[in-house]
Amino acid sequence: MHPRAGTPALPEDLIDVDAVVGAYYDRHPDVDDPAQQVAFGTSGHRGASLDSAFNEDHIVAITAAIVEYRRAQGTDGPLFIGRDTHALSEPAWRTALEVLAAAEVQVHVDARDGYTPTPAVSHAILLHNGAATSEGVRTSGGAGLADGIVVTPSHNPPRDGGFKYNPPHGGPAGSEATGWIADRANELLRQGIGSVRRVSVETALAASTTLRHDYTSAYIADLPNVLDLDLVRASGVRIGADPLGGAAVAYWGEIAERHGLDLTVVNPDVDPRWSFMTLDWDGKIRMDCSSPSAMASLVQTMAGTAGAGAPFDIATGNDADADRHGIVTPDAGLMNPNHYLAVAISYLYGGGRPGWPTSAAIGKTLVSSALIDKVAADLGRTLLEVPVGFKWFVPGLLDGSVGFGGEESAGASFLRHDGSVWTTDKDGILLALLGAEITARTGHSPSQLHAGLVEKHGESWYARVDAPATREQKKALASLRPEQVTASTLAGEEITARLTEAPGNGAAVGGLKVTTPNAWFAARPSGTEDVYKVYAESFVSAEHLGEVQAAAQQLVTETLG
């Protein structure tokens, strides 16, 4: 933990916006350096212009590759494009438009020339492709299908840029698509991007193929079909919303006005340096709404002043593209994301959504808390446990077989009241407003409801730590087989399962999960650093969690040799 974690940023912590943007245009990647090539993670290509990892060349090549990919897939409808508030997002957005217009792709830009949250782009794609109709969503098999691009590095520091592609299913692109796009983009970089046709951004914005779409109104007007906002309004629940300087900044005020909610935008400022942020755990500025350090200002606001109570019944935060949520309550401060996921699931499946089919499964990533497993069993619902990555929930959300999909990093989405799809990407605005609905209907805060779940199912201790690993060890970890793990016990308990494939869909974990009667750990290699991540949970004690973590690292080290 950095000594200044949770304290306000100082001038020396802030980026030089001109230098960051200047490097985007002036620097060119070394295509033989893996760190400067196009590489899609679970949320697109990310990097810093100052590191020659996110520059104009990258965006020209990636956009051109997306044009080729969508044509090969028969996707010839509109492409919905949005951007967040990072300094590199507007330059990359402009570059993408220049390539898309030259390729005569019909592009829908924001009608208000504003910022667009990731869930609003997913929502737009799905509505165009048939969501909320009796025919359902169409993702293949014909002309006119829409897809999208979101220019965002999510919660990454201000110096970073990001660029992600959402195909016609509206969710994060799968590895088949991203692998093809990345390979083709790197090929174009090696050939030289001079071969890619472009027009000026002025010509692109004036082109007949560039249309205006009111993402804000379309998304906000549709919210009553997925949330009980009449109940929230009637109850008078006081909501504090902090967009953390991100893309949801204009959405929250309009949500309050359109739906008559007692909602205050705690901080309406947008600053590409994020000078108003408190530093994250490592001393960096990072818009992670699940981090107590990054959310310290909102937590302090909720704590009230001497002699005064909390100003809100519930407060929420979002990251820069609003696909994540943070929930702050007067009695507990910032909730652990796992705790809130369990409460949301208990509420939605325990009577909060009577219109959902009883067969609708509960989706969780395998590194999320086992408290969710206990809640699912108590509700008598099917649990779908998948690898890390929201893309694994997309098919179930599309066809209604999964009512809720959530991951431990504070990302989730769920179905409309009638059991049809809302978004197939994470929706931090949705989950934040659900917290207000839960408070309104139950009369209790989500943290109080979590205490009830703990009383019923037992308390757990959960943490994630990083351990050093060479590239060879990371590669070996990603391709482990269960029989390679020969240990029979973990932290004093018998090992009950060794998983390298997710139970819910049989997909490769890209690592290892080991379970015992009262604990588990999962180890996955980092895609960007020479470390592997160890997620662990114990239903015994904090001390036992430490034993599980130590035993996990020893087991992984011994297994990898």
CA distances from 166 to 40, 75, 400, 434, 554 (A): 12, 12, 19, 25, 39
CB under 8 Å to 408, separation ≥6 — which residues? 337, 338, 341, 365, 367, 368, 369, 535
pLDDT digits (tens, 9 = 90+) for 460-495: 999 988 888 888 888 999 998 999 989 999 999 999
Which amino acid is residue 504, in one-letter code? Answer: G
For the segment 342-364, the average pLDDT, to the nearest whole number, is: 97
Tokens of 407: 């991951």
pLDDT digits (tens, 9 = 90+) for 407-451: 999 999 999 999 999 999 999 999 999 999 999 999 999 999 999
CB under 8 Å to 473, separation ≥6 — which residues? 525, 532, 560
Is the predicted pLDDT of residue 305 greater than 80, yes or no? no
Is the predicted pLDDT of residue 295 greater than 70, yes or no? yes
Is the predicted pLDDT of residue 306 greater than 70, yes or no? no
* Cβ burial, residue 349 (10 Å; 0-12/13-18/19+): buried
DSSP state of 476: H
pLDDT digits (tens, 9 = 90+) for 188-235: 999 999 999 999 999 999 999 999 999 999 999 999 999 999 999 999
Tell me what pLDDT residue 528 has: 64
For residues 167 and 138, what is the distance between their CA atoms, to the nearest angstrom? 11
> Is 154 an active-site residue?
yes
Tell me what pLDDT residue 239 has: 98
**% of the chain with per-residue pLDDT over 70:** 98
Q: Which domains does the chain have, with CATH numbers?
A: 15-217 (3.40.120.10), 461-560 (3.30.310.50)
Is the predicted pLDDT of residue 141 greater than 80, yes or no? no
Q: Which of 154, 297, 420, 445 is flagged as catalytic?
A: 154
- Of the chain, the end-to-end C-alpha distance in Å amounts to 30
| pLDDT higher at 531 or 29 | 29
Confidence band of 140 (pLDDT split at 50, 70, 90): confident
Tell me what pLDDT residue 335 has: 97
Which amino acid is residue 388, in one-letter code? Answer: V
Q: How many CB atoms lie within 10 A of CB 405?
A: 27
The strands making up 40-41's β-sheet, listed across from edge to edge, are 40-41, 44-48, 160-166, 147-151, 79-83, 107-110, 210-213
For residues 62 and 77, what is the distance between their CA atoms, to the nearest angstrom? 19
The pTM score is 0.96
DSSP state of 147: E
DSSP string, 386-402: E-SSGGGGHHHHHHTSE
Is the predicted pLDDT of residue 138 greater than 90, yes or no? no
